[in-house]
Amino acid sequence: MKLGIIGLPQSGKTTIFNALTRGNAPTTASAGRIEVHQAVVDVPDPRVDVLSKMFNPRKTIYAKITYADIAGLESGSAKGGISGQLLNLLNQMDALILVVRCFESDLVMHPQGSVNPLRDVEMMTSELLLNDLIAVERKLERLAEERKKGGTDKTVNARQTELFERLHKALSDNKPLRDLEYTHEEEKELSSFGLLTRKRILTVFNLGEGQTAPDVKLDLPSVALMGKLEMEIAQLSPRRCGGLHGRVRHQGTQPQPHDQPVV
């Protein structure tokens, strides 16, 4: 599975990436450049540990997740459609992790001038939705041109037109495409089309010192944690730390007060 980490500049994407992967990627902003850090990590599973002890294999293999810290997606990037390079990266992801800044910092200014988690979530999800709307409109235009030329199968054209008109209606109503139901044939039709709002999204609220999770009601699943603390714990030796995966999954550990995240 591939998970893409996205968010506004200065939200702490790379901090969360380092916390999840025990990495040490630099947490300085990329100033709008498309920049990607990737790492593959094992998913802790006590069932695998039990089986490994029982059968004593030469090698124990866990399920793996590839995390990609994707910089470059920000407010306004989808007005003309997300750039090809960035869109190609996002399309490769099975799901997205949206990092939302909750911490205050005089050293790291928020690109919108103030910290507002709900605004930032709506801003980023709107960017994804707008990109899909542009892509669907372009597809409908191509289908209309094909009908005029008469060079394609009329049955296929009619089926695709009906499907993409339904997608267009949902997007025009600000409804993400993951909320729609699809037939097996439609799933196959859309599998290579790269619509971003069909992907599942987990929202991560990146907290500062002493903060609690913001009182924000979302339609998306969410989790709140102190990214900088989690990163520092993850970078300790394995004997002293089980990593963010292990501690949250097995023990339900909650972040403790610490310094603010830097980025």
Q: What is the largest CA-CA distance in the chain?
A: 67
For the chain, give the mean pLDDT: 85
- What was the pLDDT predicted at 106? 85
Angle of CA points 83, 88, 91, to nearest 5°: 120
Q: Does residue 50 register a pLDDT over 90?
A: yes
Residues 6+ apart with CB under 8 A from 172: 133
| Beta-strand relationship, 200-206 and 35-42 | unpaired
Cβ density class 147-157: b for 16+ within 10 Å, e for less: eeeeeeeeeeb
> Which among 236, 252, 248 is positioned nearest to 24, based on CA atoms?
236
Angle of CA points 154, 155, 160, to nearest 5°: 100
Residues 6+ apart with CB under 8 A from 98: 6, 7, 121, 124, 125, 201, 202, 203, 204, 220
Three-state DSSP at 70 gives: strand
With contact defined as beta carbons under 8 Å apart, do 200 and 97 qualify? Answer: no
**Rounded Cα–Cα distance for residues 222 and 248 (Å):** 14
Q: What is the pTM of this model?
A: 0.83
Q: Which two tokens stand for residue 185?
A: 């044939």
Q: pLDDT tens digit string along 187-245? A: 999 988 889 999 999 999 999 888 899 988 888 899 999 999 999 998 886 655 555 55
Q: Does residue 97 register a pLDDT over 70?
A: yes
Domain ranges of the chain: 2-251
- What was the pLDDT predicted at 253? 38
Q: Does residue 181 register a pLDDT over 60?
A: yes
Residue 128 belongs to what H/E stretch?
helix 117-149
- Per cent of the chain over pLDDT 90 is 60
- What was the pLDDT predicted at 78? 57
Q: Does residue 54 register a pLDDT over 50?
A: yes
Mean pLDDT of 157-178: 96
- What was the pLDDT predicted at 20? 93
Most confident of 81-90, 138-147, 253-262: 138-147
